[in-house]
Amino acid sequence: MGKNNQNIHFVVGLGSCGIAAGAKDLYEELASKIKNNSNASLSHTSCNGMCFKEPILEVFYPDGNRLMLGNIHKKDLDKVLEPLLNQKSVDEKFVVENSRQPDKKEKFQQKQHKIVLENCGIIDPDNIVPYLERGGYKAVKKALGTMSAEQVVDEIKASGLRGRGGAGFSTGTKWQLARNNKAEKKYMICNADEGDPGAFMDRAVLESDPHKVIEGLIIGGYAIGANYGYFYVRAEYPLAIKRLKLAISQATEKNLLGDNILKSNFSFHLKIKEGAGAFVCGEETALIASIEGDRGQPRLRPPFPAASGLWGYPTNINNVETLASIPWIINNGSATYASYGTPKSKGTKVFSLAGKIARGGLVEVDMGIPLREIIYTIGGGTSSGKSFKAVQLGGPSGGCIPESLLDTPVDYESIAATGAIMGSGGMVVMDDDTCIVDVAKFFLAFTQKESCGKCTFCRIGTTRLLEILEKITAGRGDMSDLEALEDLSGKVKDLSLCGLGKTAPNPIITTLKYFKDEYEEHIKDKKCRAGVCKDLIDFSVIEKECTDATCATKTVL
Amino acid sequence: MSQVNVKIYVENYGKNKEAAIPILQAIQNDYGYLPLDVLNQVCEASEITKSHLYGVATFYSQFKLTPKGKNAIKICKGTACHVKGADVTIVAFKDQLGINIDQTTGDGEFSMETVACLGCCSLAPVVMINEDVYGGLSSSKVRSTLKKYGKE
């Protein structure tokens, strides 16, 4: 972190979330306030996962003590800077952690186990040195220097790591398939087209620890025999792209990328491709079409990309979180990794916790932990204090899980048994103020808009499903609509080519399964108990209490 | 942006179809949108056909064929933002600016669109104006936020 031990060192978290909460203003103000103070220094890191505490300021004292302040804004600096510089206490409302009070631990950190996120919010992501100091690129050295490519594949297979992008296919097996296909050229691609609304772990990892993902990609390239790699990153993540570009140039300078990496026989060249805003490009054949400069439409598999991918060459595509797990597995051994989690879902998984949750942010836990512990123990329950209604898992391909199933362990099979999917790990918590029919409508509006239009049932089926939901939420539904929803959902699932269409009906299927009474209320009673569906709400002014003639329109909006 | 020599795009990104998306991104970066005459010139200077370039330009939501306002407002419509009232924030923006989604104000100052997810879900509802990201932008804060961009 470039800390001088004689100094009081300040660190501000500058991830996208932090910046949105005001961390950049805080950083600049602090920089100007301490610029003439030779006893104080300042640097930045990215995201430590505690989004609900942003902006976050950490203070490191020469005596080794450390203080973490949260929800601290530029305007608060006048109050806290003097005491901080003089090692005096500050207003407790800002203090998240204090090494002098070891029992004052942030509840959000309970039950967490950080492998993928081990450096996030700790290192300066714009600098390669802190990453190297924390053991960075040791896994590349170990793999290239002491292991054969086959051994690397076997190690990843033995770790039990499964694709963290959602599908959950064995990463080692995927590598093996790509390795087995002999060709003059092969490609290794990192899928950073994190399109699920509600999931932001890939953005956070790329912004906070870009070198870790690059390291995973190099090892993957070595394992399958690919000398060329791509990052396919969403255009909506400009900060991630900027940090990644910088990290690639730093790694190239140190000969961790390029020809004959670390004097080995292995060469690996890495490029960034920016996406242009199409959810379907998260699907691997659509992603390949997009890199090739085409409209991002999926094609039939087989042939799988492992046999014929980018420009027709064998190609392997892994998600950001999957690749970020690789260096740890190589360094610590597959057996250690496999000792975490459940028999079928090994290791840890990162979830992004958002919606009506008291402590929202990024959470990394061992696979198999019950949903309830993530939502209540770590997340602190609903932010509103109202009753928990459902948690939406897996984005538009996923489903809503009710309170009665909160003891479900988070592993691929158990989550799938509820009708939802693990997906990339987005968890959006909903309380009594959320209308479940409206949520289903929201997701269908999303998939309908994002359907690439190739398959009839995805293109037109999602449109018809959306129309039915619009009719119900407008109070014009009848009971036969529910049958139509079920029937058409099944057809869209069966008759679509790619994952987008195959999973698009999931939000409807799960909400109909667990919350049918809410649909029936909308249809029979013309009532939306959450007060969300505007057409089903009657507004009237309570004249006795009305003090502002315009307030009613403000509320109705 | 005044005259840009379109050949520069082709020189920088290549003349094959692989270059289509980076070229379109560069044009949009320079002009704020994709002017049709520039697209035509790119096709003349490269091996990319008009049908291909237009097909790509209309497939991806990032690309706009009409000019955007001086201040581009992107309102996040991700799941977390939706359950935390993004729709109410959208109505407040519509009221303040007198325009709908995908429209530009008459004076060319503001344009407004919705985007899938900006990835700051814990700060929902989230709005991006130009390069600035605002978290917790409930309807009551819309007016004061727009003021920063010169809205009376």
Whether the pLDDT of residue A557 is over 50: the answer is no
Confidence of residue A4 (pLDDT cuts 50, 70, 90): low
Please give the backbone phi and psi of residue A222, each rounded to the nearest 5 degrees, phi first.
Answer: -60, -45
Whether the pLDDT of residue A286 is over 70: the answer is yes
Say yes or no: B6 contacts chain A, CB-CB below 8 A: no
Whether residue B111 contacts residue B72, with contact meaning beta carbons closer than 8 Å, is answered with yes
If you search the block for the tokens 């206490």, which residue do you land on? A89
Confidence of residue B2 (pLDDT cuts 50, 70, 90): very low
Tens of pLDDT, residue by residue over B51-68, are 999 999 999 999 999 988
Considering only CB atoms, A295 lies closest to which of B55, B131, B139, namely B55
Judge if the upstream peptide bond of residue A125 is cis by omega within 30 degrees of 0: no
Whether residue B119 and residue A277 make contact (CB cut-off 8 A), yes or no, is: no
Please give the backbone phi and psi of residue B132, each rounded to the nearest 5 degrees, phi first.
Answer: -90, 135
Residue to mutate among A281, A437, A446, with most B CBs inside 10 A, is A446
- For residue A364, the cross-strand partners are A350
Chain B 18-47, residues with CB within 8 Å of chain A CB atoms: 18-22, 24-25
Whether residue A197 and residue B135 make contact (CB cut-off 8 A), yes or no, is: no
Tens of pLDDT, residue by residue over B64-120, are 999 889 999 999 999 999 999 999 999 999 999 999 999 999 999 999 999 888 888
Residue spans per domain, chain A: 8-105, 128-338, 348-431, 436-536
- What average pLDDT does the segment A161-189 reach? 96
Q: Categorise residue B145: left if φ over 0, alpha if ψ from -120 to 50, beta otherwise.
A: alpha
Considering only CB atoms, B60 lies closest to which of A277, A291, A434, namely A277
Chain B 57-86, residues with CB within 8 Å of chain A CB atoms: 59-63, 77-84
A452 interaction partners in chain B (CB closer than 8 Å): 59
Residue spans per domain, chain B: 3-59, 71-147
A20 interaction partners in chain B (CB closer than 8 Å): 120, 123, 126, 133-135
B16 interaction partners in chain A (CB closer than 8 Å): 293
Whether the pLDDT of residue B44 is over 60: the answer is yes
CATH number at B71-147: 3.40.30.10
Check: CATH 1.20.1440.230 for A436-536?
yes
Give the minimum alpha-carbon distance from B121 to chain A in angstroms, rounded to a whole number: 6
Whether the pLDDT of residue A104 is over 90: the answer is no
Tens of pLDDT, residue by residue over A109-164, are 999 999 999 999 999 999 999 999 999 999 999 999 999 999 999 999 999 999 99
Confidence of residue A1 (pLDDT cuts 50, 70, 90): very low
Tens of pLDDT, residue by residue over A324-375, are 999 999 999 999 999 999 999 999 999 999 999 999 999 999 999 999 999 9
Strand-by-strand arrangement of the B127-129 sheet:
B103-104, B110-115, B71-76, B127-129, B132-134
Whether residue B16 and residue A293 make contact (CB cut-off 8 A), yes or no, is: yes
Whether residue A179 contacts residue A187, with contact meaning beta carbons closer than 8 Å, is answered with no
Chain A 451-470, residues with CB within 8 Å of chain B CB atoms: 452
Confidence of residue A448 (pLDDT cuts 50, 70, 90): very high
Name the token pair of A389: 């209604």
Whether residue A353 and residue B22 make contact (CB cut-off 8 A), yes or no, is: no
Whether residue A269 contacts residue B32, with contact meaning beta carbons closer than 8 Å, is answered with no
Q: What is the fold of A128-338?
A: Rossmann fold (3.40.50)
Say yes or no: B134 contacts chain A, CB-CB below 8 A: yes
- 3-state secondary structure string across A417-453: HCCCCCCCCEEEEEECCCCHHHHHHHHHHHHHHHCCC
Report the predicted TM-score, pTM, of the whole model to 2 decimal places: 0.94
Whether residue A278 and residue B19 make contact (CB cut-off 8 A), yes or no, is: no
Q: What is the pLDDT of residue A5?
A: 66
Largest CA distance in chain B: 51
Select from A169, A490, A489, A143 the least CA-distant residue to A334: A143
Q: Is the dihedral of CA A379, A382, A388, A389 positive or negative?
A: negative
For A281, nearest residue in chain B (alpha carbons): B60
Across all residues in chain A, what is the average pLDDT?
Answer: 94
Q: What is the pLDDT of residue B4?
A: 60
Q: What is the fold of A348-431?
A: Ubiquitin-like (UB roll) (3.10.20)
Distance of alpha carbon B125 from alpha carbon A419, whole angstroms: 28
DSSP assignment letter at A533: -
Q: What is the pLDDT of residue A195?
A: 86
Chains A & B: contacts with CB separation below 8 Å: 151
CA distances to A11, A17, A239, B43, B72 from B133, in Å = 21, 8, 11, 35, 12
DSSP assignments along B62-87, one per residue:
T--SSPPPSEEEEEE-SHHHHHTTHH
DSSP assignments along A85-154, one per residue:
HTT----GGGEEEETTSTT---GGGTT---STTTTTTTS-TT-HHHHHHTTTTHHHHHHHHH--HHHHHH
Q: What is the pLDDT of residue B1?
A: 44
Considering only CB atoms, A356 lies closest to which of B25, B83, B91, namely B83
Report percent pLDDT > 90 for chain B.
81
Strand runs labelled E in chain B: 71-76, 103-104, 110-115, 127-129, 132-134
Whether residue B56 and residue A293 make contact (CB cut-off 8 A), yes or no, is: yes
Distance of alpha carbon A433 from alpha carbon A271, whole angstroms: 45
Distance of alpha carbon B124 from alpha carbon B86, whole angstroms: 8
Tens of pLDDT, residue by residue over A186-198, are 999 999 999 888 8
A51 interaction partners in chain B (CB closer than 8 Å): 120-123
Report percent pLDDT > 90 for chain A.
90
Whether residue A532 contacts residue A435, with contact meaning beta carbons closer than 8 Å, is answered with yes
Give the minimum alpha-carbon distance from A169 to chain B in angstroms, rounded to a whole number: 25
Distance of alpha carbon B44 from alpha carbon A392, whole angstroms: 49
For B74, nearest residue in chain A (alpha carbons): A236
Q: Into which CATH architecture does domain A8-105 fall? A: 3-Layer(aba) Sandwich (3.40)
Name the token pair of A112: 């967490």
Whether the pLDDT of residue B32 is over 80: the answer is yes
The burial of A101, by beta-carbon neighbours within 10 Å (0-12 exposed, 13-18 middle, 19 or more buried), is given as exposed
Residue to mutate among B117, B131, B132, B148, with most A CBs inside 10 A, is B117
B135 interaction partners in chain A (CB closer than 8 Å): 17, 20-21, 54
Q: Give me the count of residues in chain A.
A: 557
- What average pLDDT does the segment A414-439 reach? 94
- What average pLDDT does the segment A78-95 reach? 94
Name the token pair of A257: 């990328």
Q: Is the dihedral of CA B95, B101, B103, B108 positive or negative?
A: positive
Name the token pair of A64: 């080794």
Select from A275, A242, A191 the least CA-distant residue to B116: A275
Please give the backbone phi and psi of residue B48, each rounded to the nearest 5 degrees, phi first.
Answer: -80, 130
Strands A95-98 and A187-192: unpaired
If you search the block for the tokens 């290239």, which residue do you land on? A144
Q: What is the pLDDT of residue A543?
A: 77
Confidence of residue A316 (pLDDT cuts 50, 70, 90): very high
Distance of alpha carbon B11 from alpha carbon A422, whole angstroms: 44
Distance of alpha carbon A46 from alpha carbon A204, whole angstroms: 8
- 3-state secondary structure string across A356-386: CECCCEEEEEECCCEHHHHHHHHCCCECCCC
Whether residue B121 contacts residue A200, with contact meaning beta carbons closer than 8 Å, is answered with yes
Whether residue B119 and residue A200 make contact (CB cut-off 8 A), yes or no, is: yes
Considering only CB atoms, A197 lies closest to which of B48, B117, B139, namely B117
Select from A153, A189, A365 the least CA-distant residue to A288: A189
Whether the pLDDT of residue A3 is over 60: the answer is no
- For residue A382, the cross-strand partners are A357
Whether residue A197 and residue B78 make contact (CB cut-off 8 A), yes or no, is: yes
Considering only CB atoms, A293 lies closest to which of B20, B122, B123, namely B20
